[in-house]
Amino acid sequence: MTGFVAFLQKELLEIRRTWRIWVIPGMLLFFGITSPIIAALTPALVRSMAAAQPGVVIQLPDPTALDASAQFLKNLDQFILIAIVIAGAGVVSGERSSGTAILVLTKPLSRGTFVLAKLLAQIVLLLTATALGTAACLGVTAVVFNASTGGRLVTAVALWFVFAALLIVVMTLFSTVFRSRGAAAGAGLGFYFLALLFSNWAPAEHYTFLGLLSATRDALAGQAHTVSLGWPLAVAVATIALGAAATVYIFERQEL
Amino acid sequence: MSSPEAGASAPAIELRGLTKRFGDTLALDRVDLVVRPGMVFGFLGRNGAGKTTTLRILSGLARPTAGSAHVLGHDVARAPLAVRADIGFLPDVPALYSWMTAREYLDLAGRLFGLDHAIVAERTDALLEMAGLESVNTRVGGFSRGMKQRLGIAQALINAPKLLMLDEPTSALDPIGRRQVLEMVASLRGRTTVFFSTHILADVERVCDAVAILERGRVVANAGVDELTSRAASNRLTLEVEDVGGAAAIAGMLAGRVWVRSIETAERVLRMSVFDLAAAQREIPAAIAAAGVPLRRFEIDETSLEDVFVELVGGASR
């Protein structure tokens, strides 16, 4: 693993110095701050729109801290997962097409170390950004609603994070398999939409990592998950390990 | 796996029957080549001759279809990390991280070799000075092509490599940038083996000790630069006479002699390529005297590497 720490530090410095610092961390912080505010304002906005339509009466319950957290989770499921797909599409293919990989991979840095350092850097970035966004969401919720969903939101976000980490590994694999960033992004979006499509199919929900998506909603609602989390978590961890191994295996056999 | 002779006594580069095929295209065709340690070796060939493919195999970026490639005694296919620990490599277009400074890039390069922090810092200072970048604090994205090329060479030297491989290091540089890069290469003579691919013949004449010429994936010449040029120079003669028809008359008299390889005439000038220079020097003056043509000039040509290259590669392309 010669050069692992040096290359990991390069990855983290690259995140700080380039657009990557603004995308996922920026979006998570934005959603963390705005989700409680939008949840608080939505009923008033809907009522004012309804008032402009004669004869239309809309009754909405008063918003709660739970609505704020649900809004935040919805944003994670929709926007952040898509941002992970788009940002991850170029993680290997970008270095290969620009030629920057050649100079580092003609040093005693193995292809496996190259891939694993990139994976770890992305996961560290997402973990830090998710913690920041969740903390922002909890803080603004406390101010706006004078209440908190604390533990339930953290549990839900933790389950979401496992799925997001899996998506990072899948995107790194696609970025290695496909020479073009566009092809990797297309494959990643296909994976994402298929995951959403099959997440409500009972066998997939019970026995695959797709169960994590519905588990986040149950965790936030404070309900016991309708199925055991054992299988979804175990399959997710196994998929992460197999995906990382497959990425290394494929990259080691490619010519640059 | 490394061979028992891996180390100082082994050739810097040893290729045996090296073959690389891309689909139906044969990029390298049973290339045999040995580069001895300590020399600046020019790897010459036209665009598409197979130079970059050879360097990509040597640096572990590509795999041979057949044959073997050893670097400093290590088989590049079996011990790629051992090879990469001892080499410095500069591709034809060095893509550096644009968001880094030159100092940061050299620091990264040194740490990827697992070098001690103090050694990296010391070498970074020395290499930045050698590359003329010691006072440049802007990021690489703002560098000129020449600055990137010099930083590319500097990063290839951070591990004090036993073998430095440069792929077309001057091909896209202006004359000043080219001179700076060649001076850097020349300054390494005796300290490290330099394997230097190019299609610019003047660069090879200027800095290389020995040269191999690659054409259509095959080595068509391999010798010292002086040996190669003198070998060709000694076989070419130019004769100029006063009369317009005189050159043709002499050509007619000499044609058919066993030592004549070829004769070309143009008005008063006659150019010859010969197998036996001594015989030519003996018999040509006699032929001129017999023809009764006044002589203006008779000389053995000073042949450049370009003439050798054209003769070898031009002939192969016909």
Asked if the model's pLDDT at residue B42 lies above 80, the reply is yes
Asked if the model's pLDDT at residue A62 lies above 70, the reply is yes
Nearest-neighbour CA in chain B from A255: distance (Å): 5
Q: How many residues does chain A have?
A: 256
Region B124-145: mean pLDDT is: 93
Pick the range with the lowest mean pLDDT from A200-214, B184-198, B300-314: B300-314
Asked if the model's pLDDT at residue A96 lies above 60, the reply is yes
Cβ neighbour number for residue B100 with a 10 Å cutoff: 20
What whole-number distance in Å separates Cα of residue A256 and Cα of residue A99? 9
The predicted structure's pLDDT at residue B2: 46
The predicted structure's pLDDT at residue B148: 92
Mean pLDDT over each residue of chain A, to the nearest integer: 92
Determine contact: B87 vs chain A, CB below 8 A.
yes
Write out residues 37-66 of B within 8 Å (CB-CB) of A. Answer: 56, 59-63
Q: What percent of chain A has pLDDT over 70?
A: 98
Where does chain B hold its CATH 3.30.70.100 domain(s)? 234-301
Question: Which of B84, B95, B96 faces A108 most closely, judged by CB atoms?
Answer: B84
Which residues in chain B are closer than 8 Å to A117, comparing Cβ atoms?
none
Best of B72, B74, B76, B112 to disrupt the A interface (most A CBs within 10 Å) is B112
The predicted structure's pLDDT at residue B41: 95
Angle B280-B284-B288 (CA atoms, 0-180°, nearest 5)?
A: 175
β-strand pairing of B210-215 with B218-224:
antiparallel
Determine contact: A14 vs chain B, CB below 8 A.
yes
Q: Domain B13-230: which topology?
A: Rossmann fold (3.40.50)
The predicted structure's pLDDT at residue B151: 93
Region A57-64: mean pLDDT is: 80
pTM of the model: 0.83
The predicted structure's pLDDT at residue B158: 96
- B112 contacts A102? CB cut-off 8 A: no
| pLDDT band at A98; cut points 50, 70, 90 | very high
Where does chain B hold its CATH 3.40.50.300 domain(s)? 13-230
Write out residues 166-185 of B within 8 Å (CB-CB) of A. Answer: none
CA distances (Å), origin A248, targets A111, A117, A118, B244: 7, 11, 11, 74
CA distances (Å), origin A110, targets A171, A211, B60, B81: 20, 35, 11, 7
B84 or B265: which leads in pLDDT:
B84
Q: Residue A76 has which token pair?
A: 């994670």
Cβ neighbour number for residue B282 with a 10 Å cutoff: 11
pLDDT tens, residue by residue, B265-293: 888 889 888 888 888 888 898 888 888 88
- DSSP-based three-state secondary structure for A3: coil
Q: Domain B234-301: which topology?
A: Alpha-Beta Plaits (3.30.70)
Asked if the model's pLDDT at residue A188 lies above 80, the reply is yes
The predicted structure's pLDDT at residue A42: 86
Which residues in chain B are closer than 8 Å to A110, comparing Cβ atoms?
81
Asked if the model's pLDDT at residue B302 lies above 70, the reply is no
Region A226-249: mean pLDDT is: 92
Question: Which of A10, A13, A255 faces B61 most closely, judged by CB atoms?
Answer: A255
The predicted structure's pLDDT at residue B6: 54
What whole-number distance in Å separates Cα of residue B30 and Cα of residue B253? 44
| pLDDT band at B318; cut points 50, 70, 90 | very low
Write out residues 84-143 of A within 8 Å (CB-CB) of B. Answer: 98-100, 102-110
pLDDT tens, residue by residue, B188-244: 888 899 999 988 888 888 899 999 999 999 999 888 888 877 766 667 888 898 887
Best of B72, B89, B108 to disrupt the A interface (most A CBs within 10 Å) is B108
- In eight-state DSSP terms, residue A225 is P
Q: Residue B310 has which token pair?
A: 């054209």
Contact status, residue A31 vs residue A77, Cβ threshold 8 Å:
no
The predicted structure's pLDDT at residue B1: 44
pLDDT tens, residue by residue, A160-177: 999 999 999 999 999 999
Region B82-95: mean pLDDT is: 94
The predicted structure's pLDDT at residue B314: 66
Positive or negative: CA dihedral A175, A180, A186, A187: negative
- The Cβ-side half-sphere exposure at B267, using a 13 Å CA radius, reads 1
Asked if the model's pLDDT at residue B307 lies above 80, the reply is no
| pLDDT band at B317; cut points 50, 70, 90 | very low
The predicted structure's pLDDT at residue A225: 61
| pLDDT band at B7; cut points 50, 70, 90 | low
Best of A106, A110, A113, A254 to disrupt the B interface (most B CBs within 10 Å) is A106
Q: What percent of chain A has pLDDT over 90?
A: 76
Name the residue of chain A whose CA is nearest to B101's CA: A17
